[in-house]
A and B are shown apart, each in its own frame.
Chain A
Amino acid sequence: MTSPLTSRTVFVDLTKKKIWIEDTPKKYVINYMGGRGVNARYLWSLVKPKINPLSKDNVLIFGTGPFTGTFIPTAGQLTITGKSPATELYCKSNAGGHFASELRFAGYSHIVILGASSKPVYLHIVDEDIELRDASHLWGKNTRETNIAIKKELKDKDVQVACIGPAAENLVRFAGIMVSAYHAAARGGLGAVLGSKKLKVIAVRGVREIFDVANPGRLESAVLEALAKVSKSVKAQAYFKYGTAGSIEPTNEMGSLPSYNFKESSFEQAEEIGGAKLVKEKYIRKRAACTACPIHCHKYFVVESGKYKCYSGGPEYETLAAFGAGCGIENAAAVLKMHELCNLYGLDGISAGAIIQWVMECFERKVLTKEEVDDLDVRWGNADVAIELIRKMAFREGFGNILAEGLLRATKIVGKDSWKWAIQSKGLEQSRVDTRSAKAYALAFAVNPRGPDHLHAQPMAEFGIYPESRELVKKLLGDVKYANPYIPDKKAEIVRWHEDVFALTEVLGLCSFATTTTYILAPESLATMYYALTGTKVSAEDLMLVGRRVITLERCLNVREGLTREDDKLPWRLMHEPVNKGPGKGLVNSKEELGMLLDQYYKLHEWNIDSGIPPNNTLLKLDMTDIASELKTLGMI
């Protein structure tokens, strides 16, 4: 039996076909604990700045945390880290499923993939037996075919698989990695990094690791207490019933559902694609859980007949919003088909949806002609054409080859002011949150190291929807009035708390649905569990500090790539075109307002207000001497 704090890393050098195991450096574990934190620290050491993300010089790290593999609620999350082909900056992407716990059962906390193979290979891990095998026969297969083929080949139906589809093989800059079949680590295009390394699959099976829990009785009571909170949480119940698909209807009613490429903030037919309808019409058939998760937000859907016949895992709010409201498509079956195709090809549905909307607007504005888009009638609401565009992007066919480069690069090719309605920043297509009427989200998206995306801070408390979120705002800021997304006051404090806790969540190997989304597990509960599990006493503040350190390291990784305050911005449309109707009418993310939010945020972090760079003193205070010293050598601080 080993301690949950034992951290061992599998190194795989694809160029030299060499595999070895090392204890994760102690100083990494002490400062960054595990998961996302240790991943980022590995990236700092192993990747030089300014490298091409699609070259053999990039590194991909798969990380679990000290809670992974235990029965602590939601302890089944995997974080994958590398340099993004979309943004050419730091990127982490996260997925649920059962891969992370299986890796821990095999005895490892991290996998580091170095170099690149000259031909397709897959990595097979069964406890101590680790080998690279030929994957030529898998290359070209979609993710479903790959899962089936690998399980058959290994004669192991329970082997956990992380794989890429054709989009990543074709180096599409927003290709993802599919984990445990239907869980997508898709943001930032890390699938394309695996594609560039010709690593099609990582299959893992672990049967030996049993944790030596320091205080089993104490851990059991802490877990039971957490489970009781889950069963009482109305939000967890809603996630069980609808999944994130259930967010469509309330978001729409609040006038915050971006539609028609963020030209509108609500969609008249939203209920047609919302979670309640999908459940009622029996598109959503089955609920499933990731390892140790009592919430069961994951769903399986089926469209039984018709031209959109399909099945897959999901759908999520983001893809329903992107392909449905965003493209003006009200046919639920068609939207589900688009979601299925993204899963099969291994594409990020958020980015794919954002790109299709942009093409539709270009077409409407006559910036793109029918001939330029392969003779397709790319008007709003045309589901069949949207489906065809997904295929073209995945296979880089015709106009799809331009789109496969992502929005930022596509606008440079298309020109004619098309960048103004490209909803991206830092090179990443924005998640489906209208930040004009959600000021904490606006700040969180602007400072997110991987681009404008909801999975870095997720400052849900600003909406003040749940009693728990209102209580949190009152506790943090002394007055519940700040739980209001329309006002910019005190949003830096709200963002920083959520950033710290979100980072901590992914450091420990948990899912944010237990922390920053439902507020079921507070940092105090996490500290209790950590003590019971490891025997090491920590306070909630100690844990929050680990989160803060990770946020700061991620910032430093981007600073090393040349990022400054100027890069912390939002898409042009959201900074210049106010919301045109509904409760948020007139709201915009003006340069002045965002500037004020950034000032407050940098000040809280003790970063340089003019440059947005963490200075030497701040890094030393956080025990990040090694990082400070390297940034000094590079002349950056």
Chain B
Amino acid sequence: MTKKILKFVGGPRIALRKKVLEVELENNNVTVFDFLRMASKEACIHDITNEVKKGKYLVLLDGINIFYLNGLETLVKRFSTITIVHATVGG
């Protein structure tokens, strides 16, 4: 079993009323997409993968935007913290 930290920041934290979840994975070889579906179910929140696809929420793996990696297909294996934050950048 491997433990991952799922962190909600800003808009998602308020909307989903969650701050941090510890998610246990039997199989570490899962993609971000699978991980989010699994975690959503476990936390009893609606599936957030659609928000990510639309660009409303941003997924960061140890701070790195998943789109610099392999998007939702990136394996969560080598990362410890998965962050979900609202996607607004720019001033």
Contacts and interface: CB of A to CB of B under 8 A. Distances in A.
Interface of A: 234-235, 237-239, 241-242, 244, 246-251, 253-255, 271, 274-277, 280, 316-318, 321, 431-433, 454, 458, 460, 463-468, 470, 480, 483-484, 486, 517, 582-583
B87 interface: yes
Nearest to A432: B91
Contacts of B10: 246, 248-250, 271, 274-277
Nearest to B69: A484
B88 A275 contact: yes
Nearest to A320: B91
A466 B55 CA distance: 5
Contact of B88 (A235, A433, A467, A483): A235
Given A271-B10, A276-B13, A276-B14, A242 B63 contact: no
A615 B60 CA distance: 45
Contacts of B14: 276, 280
A107 B60 CA distance: 51
Contacts of B85: 249-250, 253
Nearest to B60: A253
Contacts of B90: 244, 247, 317, 454, 458, 460, 517
Contact of A246 (B11, B13, B64, B67): B11
Contacts of B91: 244, 247, 316-318, 321, 431-433, 454
Contacts of B54: 234, 467
B55 to A, nearest CB: 4
Nearest to A254: B63
Given A238-B56, A253-B9, A276-B13, A246 B63 contact: no
Contact of B56 (A234, A249, A463, A517): A234
A255 B11 contact: no
CB-CB nearest 5 A-B residue pairs: A249-B10, A317-B91, A583-B63, A246-B88, A276-B10
Contacts of B55: 234-235, 465-468
A241 B63 CA distance: 24
A583 B83 contact: no
B10 to A, nearest CB: 3
Contacts of A465: 55, 58, 65, 67, 87, 89
Name the prevailing secondary structure of the B interface residues: mixed
A271 B10 CA distance: 7
User: B54, B56, B86, B91: which has the most chain A beta carbons within 10 Å?
Assistant: B91
Contact of B83 (A253, A432, A458): A253
Contact of B11 (A276, A467, A470, A582): A276
Contacts of B65: 254, 463-465
B22 interface: no
Given A247-B91, A483-B67, 17 more contacts: A234-B55, A234-B56, A234-B87, A235-B87, A237-B56, A247-B88, A249-B85, A249-B86, A253-B58, A253-B83, A276-B13, A458-B90, A463-B65, A465-B67, A465-B87, A465-B89, A468-B55
B63 A250 contact: no
A583 B67 CA distance: 14
Nearest to A466: B55
A154 B13 CA distance: 48
B60 A251 contact: no
Nearest to B64: A583
B47 interface: no
Contacts of A484: 68
B73 interface: no
Contacts of A466: 55, 87
Name the prevailing secondary structure of the A interface residues: helix
Interface in B3-62: 9-11, 13-14, 54-56, 58, 60, 62
Nearest to A583: B63
Nearest to B81: A253
A271 B87 CA distance: 14
Nearest to B67: A464
Contacts of A241: 11
27 contacts: A234-B55, A235-B87, A235-B88, A237-B56, A238-B87, A238-B88, A242-B86, A242-B88, A248-B10, A249-B86, A250-B9, A250-B58, A251-B89, A253-B85, A254-B60, A254-B89, A271-B10, A276-B10, A276-B11, A276-B14, A316-B91, A317-B91, A318-B91, A431-B91, A460-B89, A463-B65, A583-B63
Nearest to A244: B91
Given A234-B54, A254-B63, A483-B67, A249 B9 contact: yes
A545 B67 CA distance: 32
B63 A271 contact: no
B63 A255 contact: yes
A248 B9 CA distance: 11
B61 to A, nearest CB: 9
Nearest to B15: A276
A238 B58 CA distance: 12
B88 A250 contact: yes
B9 to A, nearest CB: 5
A215 B84 CA distance: 46
Contacts of A275: 10, 88
A280 B13 CA distance: 11
B67 A250 contact: no
User: B54, B63, B90: which has the most chain A beta carbons within 10 Å?
Assistant: B90
Nearest to A266: B63
A340 to B, nearest CB: 18
A484 B14 CA distance: 28
A238 B10 CA distance: 12
B85 to A, nearest CB: 5
A454 B89 CA distance: 12
B60 to A, nearest CB: 5
A129 to B, nearest CB: 39
A467 B89 CA distance: 14
Nearest to B63: A583
A237 B56 CA distance: 9
A244 to B, nearest CB: 5
Contacts of B87: 234-235, 238, 250, 465-466
Contacts of B83: 253
B63 A253 contact: yes
User: A239, A253, A465, A486: which has the most chain B beta carbons within 10 Å?
Assistant: A253
A62 to B, nearest CB: 23
A432 B90 CA distance: 10
A169 B10 CA distance: 40
B50 to A, nearest CB: 11
